[in-house]
Amino acid sequence: MSRGPEDARRSSDAQDPDAEGRNRFLTVPNAITLFRFLCLPILGWALMDPAGERLLSLALFVAVAALDMVDGFIARRFHQVSAFGKLFDPFVDKLFHLMTAVLLFVTGRLPLWIPLFILVKEALMIVGGLFLLRRYKLVVYAKWYGKAATFLTAVAMAATILFIDPGQARLAGFLFLVPIGLSLFSYVQYGRENLLPQIRGDQHGPADPPRP
């Protein structure tokens, strides 16, 4: 007796421990990401009052940033990676960093070029990732230098929240020199490892995708 496509799909899911997690919406990592998302309006309100809510801003910022690592660990460790989480978690991350940078600029604690840089960076990551996925079916995996740049940017933002007063935006700019320098290095490396091999493959034959 032949097996139908539904039977084949169920058999494949049964052999794949991650399949159930990918098809689920209500998972612990997604709940944590939703909690992080709901914290953003409170963080935004606190950032708008640098004199009275500095410690609350810092506590919320650190909590939202730390929980990003927690939900990722749980998703991988307990096979709860989901299709929804793959979209929602990066969206919350980008909104979190961009909102924080914009509000620090609005309150006079960051120069304009920093939120502009973050906006351009996130836009390039989205456009570049979609291009590689659609054109070459290539998923770009985060490397150590990309993670380090993100971590150092978060540290610089936390230091700005804690130590920089309104009107000291120029001073805050120095805190971001190393994170932004590493971000620029990351762009070059991601391009060399992911985009250039594909372009060369178009000219000389297919290229092997980089390993995660």
Residue-wise pLDDT for 106-136, tens only, equals 999 999 999 999 999 889 888 888 888 888 8
Question: Could you tell me if 46 and 73 lie in one domain?
Answer: yes
When the pLDDT of each residue in the chain is averaged and rounded to a whole number, the result is 85
Question: Could you tell me if 74 and 132 lie in one domain?
Answer: no
Of 68, 92, 116, the residue that ends a domain is 92
Domain with 8, as residue range(s), is 1-92
Note whether residue 102 is domain-resident.
no
How far apart, in whole angstroms, are the C-alpha atoms of residue 16 and residue 59?
Answer: 39
Greatest mean pLDDT among 51-60, 82-91, 132-141: 51-60
12-16, 46-50, 54-58, 181-185: least confident range: 12-16
Question: Could you tell me if 112 and 209 lie in one domain?
Answer: yes
Question: Could you tell me if 136 and 196 lie in one domain?
Answer: yes
pLDDT tens per residue, range 146-158: 889 999 999 999 9
Q: What is the pLDDT of residue 212?
A: 53
Note whether residue 199 is domain-resident.
yes
Question: Could you tell me if 88 and 129 lie in one domain?
Answer: no
Q: Which has more pLDDT, 22 or 63?
A: 63
